[in-house]
């Protein structure tokens, strides 16, 4: 019988130790500002996504540790809500309305156009990394559809031509910057 090899089992690994410093700071700041709220998890997740544009899966253990809830709770909430992203977005995010009122005025054709022009499916990002395309179910602009949010800004009566103009404007302002 040889000697058994001793394996050190980390009882409490430092949560979030493998997070890049910037992301770690964003998480800790979000927690610090919201931890006293009743039901703090959603406000914390919003604050992280507002800052980083997404919620890195590696941040889950740190959020769970800081709020004293399980990682399963945090993961479960992030994956339940369509708005929370687990992948970094492109430089711009387009939330395109797919709901009935927009369908009545051409949203299906607009969605086809958007996917073709960006070369991306819904929930994807264009190959050049410029635009992420997300579906959204109603922006409350139902009398003047089709509607979309471009980096959080609402646009009304969006035809395929208008969509192309938006992309073009982003491209030219990107070149200037």
> To which H or E segment does residue 30 belong?
helix 21-34
Residue from the set 128, 137, 165, 171 that interacts with another protein by CB under 8 A: 137
Residue from the set 19, 40, 110, 118 that interacts with another protein by CB under 8 A: 40
Q: What is the DSSP string of 51-93?
A: HHSS--GGGHHHHHHHHT--HHHHHHHHHHSTT--SS---SEE
Residue from the set 23, 147, 163, 167 that interacts with another protein by CB under 8 A: 147
Pull the structure tokens for residue 24: 């770690």
Does 77 participate in binding another protein (rule CB under 8 A)? yes
Comparison of 148 and 167: residue with beta carbon closer to another protein: 148
Distance of CA 29 to the CA centre of its chain: 19
Does 139 participate in binding another protein (rule CB under 8 A)? yes
Does 76 participate in binding another protein (rule CB under 8 A)? yes
Does 39 participate in binding another protein (rule CB under 8 A)? yes
Residues 80-99, interacting with another protein (CB under 8 A): 80-84, 95, 99
Please, are residues 111 and 98 in contact by the beta-carbon 8 Å criterion?
A: yes
Please, are residues 27 and 15 in contact by the beta-carbon 8 Å criterion?
A: no
Pull the structure tokens for residue 141: 């602009």
Q: How far is the CB of 151 from another protein (least distance, A)?
A: 11
Does 27 participate in binding another protein (rule CB under 8 A)? no
Q: In whole angstroms, what is the distance from residue 139 CA to residue 147 CA?
A: 7
Does 170 participate in binding another protein (rule CB under 8 A)? no
Contact positions toward another protein, by CB under 8 A?
A: 37-43, 45-46, 73, 76-77, 80-84, 95, 99-105, 108, 136-145, 147, 149, 152-157
């Amino acid at each position: 019988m040889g000697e058994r090899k001793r394996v050190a089992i980390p009882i409490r690994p430092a949560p979030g130790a493998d997070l890049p410093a910037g992301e770690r700071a964003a998480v800790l700041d979000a927690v610090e500002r919201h931890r006293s709220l009743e039901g703090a998890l959603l406000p914390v997740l919003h604050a992280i996504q507002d800052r980083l544009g997404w919620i890195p899966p590696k941040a889950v253990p740190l959020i769970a540790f800081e709020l004293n809830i399980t990682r399963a709770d945090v993961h479960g909430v992030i994956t339940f809500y369509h708005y929370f992203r687990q992948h970094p977005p492109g430089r711009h995010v387009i939330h395109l309305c797919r709901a009935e009122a927009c369908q009545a005025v051409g949203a299906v054709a607009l969605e086809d156009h958007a996917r073709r022009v960006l070369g991306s499916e819904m929930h994807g990002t264009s190959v050049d990394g410029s635009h992420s395309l997300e579906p959204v179910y109603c922006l409350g602009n139902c009398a003047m559809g089709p509607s979309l949010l471009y980096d959080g800004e609402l646009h009304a009566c969006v035809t395929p031509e208008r969509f192309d103009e938006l992309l073009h404007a982003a491209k030219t302002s990107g070149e200037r910057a």
